[in-house]
Chains A and B, each alone.
Chain A
Amino acid sequence: MERTTLDLWVGLFVVAGIAALVFLAMKVGNIGTFDTAKTYSVTAKFGNIGGLKVRAPVKSAGVVVGRVGEIRFNTQAYQAEVVLNIGNQFKFPIDTGASIMTSGLLGEQYIALEAGAEEKMLAQGDVLKITQGAVVLENLIGQFLYNKADEPTTPAK
């Protein structure tokens, strides 16, 4: 085969392969969302994190503002310590509350931030005071049954 045609085909092939990789990275993967952006990290303690995973989204008003960076177990308080990496452009008051929520009935778990009213803003290394852990389905059902049993039985019609 002519050398120039050969070069052309190989060039096209390599460009197509690299384009496929870039497509996978940008469109399929989550590169570019908070991976390269500057973040500050704050810690939140929870009694129960349920199924929360590292890299789970941190949302405020439904908008992703950061990701879970690290999950530790505190042996003094017997609580889970979750490090949240929040984008530098999102400033939250110091009395912001964090709670673990589930998207949909069976969806992934994320951390919802509820902005407070203080004028001082959160900075690197701060600890969130107001937290609410994950809701455990079994406890919920148990509570529901307990409440149901307490109710006066309605007479049969």
Chain B
Amino acid sequence: MPERVIGGFRKIGHRTIDGVWRMGVSTRFFLLTLMHSGICLRRPQLVIREIFSAGVLSLIIIIVSGLFVGMVLGLQGYETLQTYGSEEALGILVALSLVRELGPVVAALLFASRAGSAITAEIGLMKATEQIAAMEMMAVDPIARVVAPRFWGAVISMPLLAALFSAMGIFGGYLVGVVMIGVDDGAFWSQMQSAVDFREDILNGVIKSVVFGVAVTVVALFEGYDAPPTAEGVSRATTRTVVTSSLAILALDFVLTALMFRGV
């Protein structure tokens, strides 16, 4: 019995040490990536390629889901607002929920599962097939050549994708609210404009999406770089990227929202 108890404590200790170690190593990895980012300015083509694979290839899923999220918000919002006779506030509801929360958060969640997993799998496989070791052999720094361009490509793509998501969502809300249900066109836009503040709402949303972009990309890159060089290891690392970065997005979102919107 005491052997079991001691074993239990040992397990907890092992997990804690492992967790702290991973946090420390990933932070150093992140700093190392930033330090080796100079190559992105010297060879912008590397970053452009990564913007393509992280940003352009995520466009379809972002646009389609943005449109549908906005349309659902329009329908549900109308149902509720109608009972209070203030259907005209539909524009405010759709715009504020998208710009403040849903745009950055849902776009980042989609980005984590679409682009983050791809980054992890790619780097993990590069490691498994010893491409990274080969680079080191040829005195090419893999952090500068492989990691840094992916980091900047993804961090640049994320706010653009979130803005597109919000814009498409507002368009979807407009389609359902104004075109389909028949809320007054002028009231929809003018109430939205008077309630949405550029600095308070839109800029804060952009800041959120940049923070999420950094978090998702660092997790994805680190998991890929840290993955055991086996088929199973890469698959586990990919799963862990999606789970960890989704949880990180939600936790960071709470912290950022608490800092940004204190409820004046």
A30 close to B193 (CB less than 8 A): yes
B194 close to A57 (CB less than 8 A): yes
Of A6, A25, A29, most B-chain CB atoms within 10 Å: A29
Contact mask for chain A residues 1-35; partner B; CB cutoff 8 A; 1 contact, 0 none: 10100110110111011101101110111110101
- Is A123 among interface residues, defined by CB-CB distance under 8 A? no
A28 close to B196 (CB less than 8 A): yes
Q: A18-B160, A29-B201 are in contact. Are A24 and B167 (CB under 8 A)?
A: yes
- Is A55 among interface residues, defined by CB-CB distance under 8 A? yes
Residues of B within 8 Å of A29, CB to CB, are: 193, 196-198, 201-202
Question: A3, A20, A54: which contacts B164 (Cβ < 8 A)?
Answer: A20
Residues of B within 8 Å of A54, CB to CB, are: 264
Query: How many angstroms from the CA of A117 to the CA of B235 in the assembled complex?
Result: 78
Residues of B within 8 Å of A17, CB to CB, are: 55, 159-161, 163-164
- Is B48 among interface residues, defined by CB-CB distance under 8 A? yes
Interfacial residues, chain B to chain A (CB-CB below 8 A): 45, 48-49, 51-52, 55-56, 59, 84, 86, 95, 99, 157, 159-161, 163-164, 166-168, 170, 189, 192-194, 196-198, 201-202, 206, 264
Residues of A within 8 Å of B196, CB to CB, are: 28-30
A25 close to B198 (CB less than 8 A): yes
A9 close to B56 (CB less than 8 A): yes
B56 close to A24 (CB less than 8 A): no
- Shortest distance in angstroms between A35's beta carbon and chain B's nearest beta carbon? 7
Q: A14-B51, A54-B264 are in contact. Are A28 and B193 (CB under 8 A)?
A: yes
Query: How many angstroms from the CA of A9 to the CA of B170 in the assembled complex?
Result: 24
Total contacting residues, chain A, CB less than 8 A: 31
B48 close to A21 (CB less than 8 A): no
Query: How many angstroms from the CA of A25 to the CA of B99 in the assembled complex?
Result: 11
A24 close to B49 (CB less than 8 A): no
- Is A145 among interface residues, defined by CB-CB distance under 8 A? no
Residues of B within 8 Å of A57, CB to CB, are: 194
Question: A3, A21, A28: which contacts B206 (Cβ < 8 A)?
Answer: A21
- Is A149 among interface residues, defined by CB-CB distance under 8 A? no
Query: How many angstroms from the CA of A96 to the CA of B170 in the assembled complex?
Result: 40
- Shortest distance in angstroms between B7's beta carbon and chain A's nearest beta carbon? 53
Residues of B within 8 Å of A23, CB to CB, are: 167
Residues of B within 8 Å of A16, CB to CB, are: 59, 160, 164
B202 close to A13 (CB less than 8 A): no
Interface residues of A in 24-81 (CB under 8 A from B): 24-25, 27-31, 33, 35, 53-55, 57
- Is A140 among interface residues, defined by CB-CB distance under 8 A? no
B48 close to A10 (CB less than 8 A): yes
- Is A141 among interface residues, defined by CB-CB distance under 8 A? no
Q: A35-B198, A55-B197 are in contact. Are A13 and B59 (CB under 8 A)?
A: yes
Interface residues of A in 104-125 (CB under 8 A from B): 104, 106, 108
Question: A12, A18, A30: which contacts B197 (Cβ < 8 A)?
Answer: A30
Residue of A nearest to B168 (CB): A20
Of all A-B residue pairs in the complex, the 5 with the closest CB atoms, nearest first, are A17-B160, A20-B167, A20-B163, A31-B198, A29-B198
Query: How many angstroms from the CA of A92 to the CA of B75 in the assembled complex?
Result: 44
Query: How many angstroms from the CA of A13 to the CA of B153 in the assembled complex?
Result: 12
Query: How many angstroms from the CA of A29 to the CA of B194 in the assembled complex?
Result: 7
Residues of B within 8 Å of A18, CB to CB, are: 160, 163
Question: B160, B198, B202, B206: which contacts A14 (Cβ < 8 A)?
Answer: B160
- Shortest distance in angstroms between B48's beta carbon and chain A's nearest beta carbon? 5
